Structure 1
Amino acid sequence: MLHDKSQWDADQDGRPERADAARNRERILETAKRLFAEQGIGVTLNDIAKAAGVGVGTVYRKYPDKAALIEALVAAKFAALTDIADRALAETDPRTALRTYLRGAIALRARDRAIADVIVRAAKGTPAVVRERTRLDAVVTALVQRASDAGVIRPGFDARDLPMLTLMVGAVADRARGCDAAIWPRYAELIIDAVCPPADARAMVGEPLDMAEMERLLADAKA
């Protein structure tokens, strides 16, 4: 959940928030999270209000503009990435640890179209958000360094390369939703193997798109 489920909560000016108002706030945040993930950052507050089943005025009372709503969601996005990183760091084998994080971070981006935009915005966020980003960066850098020290990562790979990897696979996932939503893991695994090769050779996952599907995907990309 994105906030405390207690009957009373504090709203933005510090006054107690009624239970129905707290439920509306949660509904707005959950709906915004879903729409941003499905459609990207172009979703409007009016779209969110309609999908959440609340009045537009209710949304604007809570969040005067989209930037304020996005700010409220940033912490949840970083919490998800940091949880993936922490679980990966708990792995004792450096290769397994890095591959675990790469799989988790890429899968998160494949499901959530807005996460890249949110992370970029975090650089200009509140001090709390900047701290979350700094903590995530430290954990990911440690994962990469462990893999480098163990000699299981491609020489020269840097933690700063990771956003581009998620961007590439995310583009495939976004474009292929209409023809084969499951195609992106094939290319995610190919990229991960190039960065941090598996200990043993293995076949690629999934199957490539057939010609008709590929033509449709490329046509959509030009639209």
Structure 2
Amino acid sequence: MSRRTAPAPPSGDTPARPLRADAERNRRRIIAAAQQVFAIRGLDVTLDDIAHHAGVGVGTIYRRFANREELIEAIFEEEIQRVIDVAEEALTHEDPWDGLVHFFTRSSQDFADNRGLREVLMVGTHGKGRVADARERLSPAISAVMERAQQHGSLRNDIEVTDFPLVQIMLGAATQLTGSVAPDLWQRYLILILDGLRTSRQAPTLLPHRALSQEEFDRTAP
């Protein structure tokens, strides 16, 4: 009788086993908690903070993600892609200026709602793999929106793609300062900025938010 050959060990190309149902639930809880914590507090949080918000032990996070950077990669690649999608959507607007306003408004809303997204894009010290690749894809998408408006004659010719992140940093500072008093106040300053970017207009654009009262302004003091 011939001897039965022992089965060969699995090769490195063998697909990873799907996570058990409970492990997958924990992974989703971790992702959801990290999205919420990063959005509210920014990227300067610990895995312990995220574990506490998720209601799991920090060891559970380490079984799914080797470190905080890996978790940032898992979350923000998709978040940045959504900003790219908005830029590509802006290019479909018949009027290039309307497309630029659409992009600035939608992306500014995303950054106002998500401090972590603003930091991962504007600061650039986090995300060395997929997030860095997504950041590189975003820049030409923004350039296309801006160049189209410049060729149309509605956007100032001296505006560069590097002005966009600085505009968002300014709006982000306003959001962080006034978020507890008037969370939508950034919209007022976006319109003021857009009026400054446009080559010509018949009259100032109506501001969508009133200015802070003196009492409200005093409440924003650090």
Secondary structure (helix, strand or coil) at the match of 1:116 reads: helix
What is the number of equivalent residue pairs in this alignment? Answer: 206
Amino acid at match of 1:214: F
User: How big is each residue's C-alpha offset from its partner over 1:107-127, in whole Å with a ceiling of 9 and x where there is no partner?
Assistant: 11111111132124478622x
Match of 2:67 in 1: 65
Please, what is the CA RMSD of the aligned residues? Answer: 2.0
Match of 1:204 in 2: 207
Match of 1:156 in 2: 158
User: How big is each residue's C-alpha offset from its partner over 1:100-152, in whole Å with a ceiling of 9 and x where there is no partner?
Assistant: 111111111111111132124478622x4444223222221111111111110
Match of 1:36 in 2: 38
Structure 2 counterparts to residues 115-130 of structure 1, below 5 A: 115-119=117-121, 120-121=123-124, 125-126=128-129, 128-130=130-132
Distance change in 2, residues 1:65/1:124 (3 Å): closer
Instruction: After superposing the two structures, state which structure 1 stretch, 56-65 or 130-139, moved more.
Output: 130-139
Alignment check: 8 A CA contact 2:101 2:194 kept: yes
User: How big is each residue's C-alpha offset from its partner over 1:184-219, in whole Å with a ceiling of 9 and x where there is no partner?
Assistant: 1111111122113685533222110000111221x2
How far off its partner does 1:155 sit?
2.5
Structure 2 counterparts to residues 154-193 of structure 1, below 5 A: 154-193=156-195
Match of 1:215 in 2: 218
Match of 1:98 in 2: 100
Amino acid at match of 1:137: S
Amino acid at match of 2:96: P
Distance change in 2, residues 1:51/1:178 (3 Å): same
Distance change in 2, residues 1:97/1:107 (3 Å): same
Alignment check: 8 A CA contact 2:146 2:161 kept: yes
**Residue 25 (structure 1) aligned with residue 39 (structure 2):** no
Alignment check: 8 A CA contact 1:169 1:188 kept: yes
Separation (CA, whole Å) in 2 of partners of 1:203 and 1:181: 19
Runs of 5+ unmatched residues, structure 2: 1-14
Alignment check: 8 A CA contact 1:122 1:130 kept: no
Identity %: 34
How far off its partner does 1:20 sit?
1.7
Match of 1:79 among 72, 78, 81: 81
Match of 1:7 in 2: none
Separation (CA, whole Å) in 2 of partners of 1:84 and 1:158: 19
Q: Which protein is bigger by CA-based radius of gyration?
A: 2
Secondary structure (helix, strand or coil) at the match of 2:115 reads: coil
TM-score (norm 2): 0.85
Alignment check: 8 A CA contact 2:73 2:127 kept: no
Alignment check: 8 A CA contact 1:98 1:196 kept: no
Secondary structure (helix, strand or coil) at the match of 1:17 reads: coil
Separation (CA, whole Å) in 1 of partners of 2:34 and 2:167: 25
TM-score (norm 1): 0.85
Amino acid at match of 1:191: I
Alignment check: 8 A CA contact 1:122 1:129 kept: no
